[in-house]
Structure 1
Amino acid sequence: MDCFNTSRGLNSSLQLLNLVTSIPLFFFGLICNFIALWVFCCKLKKWTEMTVFMVNLIISDILAVLTLPFRVYAYMYTWNLGDETCTALLILYYINMYMSIFIITAISIDRYIAIRHPLKCKRWRSPVKATITCCVLWSVLIIIGVTNSLYSKDYAVDTCFQKVNTEPFAISLVFVLLGFTLPLIIISYCSVQVIITLLRKNSSDALKKKSKALKIIISNLVVFVICFLPIHVGYTLRFVTDSLNASCHTRQQINVYIHVTTLLANANCVLDCVCYFFAASEFWEIVFMN
């Protein structure tokens, strides 16, 4: 059963939604991230662990943003830019989405170590170790992305960015469990522990700084959940419905849901820049106080 042969494109409402959201995200994403990259690379005299993670996060977000015009084109027209181009764009998009997730996780762990284990943090944290961590993450994700693209047949040549194969996509569960659920658990644990530690600090002089730090942590966690939870729920639902050979109507509804939640995931490229720029500039004021 092929539920998608009769309609290769999206309906007009989804096309319009993608158009009016992806274009602003593209321009704001490039502008904000390039400004942040300029600040971190040209204005900071000393690189810290946070700087290394932030620069890698910004690079991954820029690379993900660069795929948005092609995604809009694929949603609006029949894809005629070639199978190889589609494959390369898919690899680029998914590598950088999960790179963003893993770097946000690394930032949370780094923050947790600095706050909860201040005496050991110099041994566990350094710019070199942060660089090695990022290099390992890039290498693993590139290998997984390239390997997966050689075997995946879920995207037709004329519908790039749109899954048309109704066979269960098994690796999507791996992405859901290891690429989102595990990072979410780690980020949540680290955030809660840091919040508890900050609340125990009783210095009245640092009350304002503490309040800002708490807002940064909470906002980072909320943004992460809002951007990435819905799309991974969609991946899970699609795997289940494909496995159970659900009706075409059900699959098409989930397909619509995934398209909409993908826009939330794309918004993370802009929100990362805002949230973590303030985290880098203000959060660490309270880390080593007292």
Structure 2
Amino acid sequence: MSTHIAMNTTGNQTLSCHMDIFEGVAYAPVFLVGLVLNIVALSVFFAKRATWTGTHIYMLNLSVADCALILFLPFRIYDSFLCLSNLNLCSILISIHYINMYASIFTVTAISIHRYVAVKFPFQTRAWHSKKGARVVCGAVWIIVLAISIMFSIANSPSQLSSCFERRENISLGWLVVLGVLGYLAPLFIMLFCSILIILVLLKKKNEDTTSDKNIVGIVTANLIVFVICFTPIHVGYLLMYLGDNYILHGVWLVCKWITSTNCFLDSISYYFLLKE
């Protein structure tokens, strides 16, 4: 339920302020569940610090990305009920949302490649699946994501916002292509390729069906499922909002963004399989 309640003016910018109870109620459990699960995950990770592997580094990186979103959600909930009028802060909050999303996308893609290389070439590629190699990859992920966030900060400057989390205009076709191809389709195809090959390699080990192999299949499958559930809707939403904007499409867009935010606790499925291993 969305109810218009005021008009706030900041500098030369006028923004529409409205109360959206649905968004506030929907994001509240995501914040609470995500906060609890990520606190537990981080405490367990650091408790087992002496036995970390490269995969732990990737998962820690994923948890950090999730925490970035979780810290952003209270502002989103507050805006749903009382409205934020600081547009500079709003631009930062929008950037944080995309930092989480694309840091998660690129990290789970790196995990898939890491798993494939580790399973297919366990002895020849030790440098890749070492902790040092994982740190280098995670560092590269954050450089790419921060570059994207800077560009998003420019694209979502205060002059481009009609309310704290709403743009006056839809994203451009160029951004749509970049985000759709490089931010979604390419990682999805890489994950599918790696996941299928990993499962095929493990299926050939008929007489060596170990618990570790089952955990590898579990974490690969979990990452792929979370990826498809969380990140497919919002990229479809980009396309729908570009093609047209009306009340129904806007509602679909809000639901798509909410689904994306659930990755901050659905990633705990991956943590579960990792810690079992």
What TM-score do the two structures reach when normalised by structure 2? 0.86
Q: 1:65 to 1:151 in 2, by over 3 A?
A: same
Q: 1:152 to 1:233 in 2, by over 3 A?
A: same
Q: 1:16 to 1:124 in 2, by over 3 A?
A: same
Q: Does 1:230 align with 2:242?
A: no
- Tell me which protein shows more strand as a share of its residues: 2
User: For residue 163 of structure 2, what is the aligned residue in structure 1?
Assistant: 159
1:49: how far off?
Answer: 0.7
Q: Which amino acid aligns with 1:69?
A: P
Separation in 1 of the partners of 2:153 and 2:173?
A: 12
In the alignment, is the contact (CA less than 8 A) between 1:154 and 1:164 conserved in 2?
A: no
Separation in 1 of the partners of 2:43 and 2:67?
A: 13
Number of corresponding residues? 265
User: For residue 277 of structure 1, what is the aligned residue in structure 2?
Assistant: 271
1:214: how far off?
Answer: 3.0
User: For residue 263 of structure 1, what is the aligned residue in structure 2?
Assistant: 258
* Aligned residues: CA RMSD: 2.6
Q: Does 1:61 align with 2:66?
A: yes
1:238-288 alpha-carbon deviations (Å, 9 max, x no partner)? 22x1xxxx4xxx53322211100111111110010x2221232235xxxxx
Q: How does 1:1-290 map to 2 (within 5 A)?
A: 8=16, 15-80=20-85, 82-152=86-156, 157=161, 159-166=163-170, 168=172, 170-203=174-207, 206=210, 210-239=213-242, 241=243, 246=244, 250-272=245-267, 274-283=268-277
Q: Which runs of 5+ in 1 are unaligned?
A: 284-290
Q: 1:102 to 1:204 in 2, by over 3 A?
A: closer
What is the percent sequence identity of the aligned residues? Answer: 32
Q: Which amino acid aligns with 2:223?
A: N
1:56: how far off?
Answer: 0.9
In the alignment, is the contact (CA less than 8 A) between 2:156 and 2:167 conserved in 1?
A: no
Separation in 1 of the partners of 2:174 and 2:58?
A: 30
Q: 1:146 to 1:97 in 2, by over 3 A?
A: same
1:166: how far off?
Answer: 4.7
Separation in 2 of the partners of 1:160 and 1:172?
A: 21
Q: 1:163 to 1:75 in 2, by over 3 A?
A: farther
Q: 1:171 to 1:118 in 2, by over 3 A?
A: same
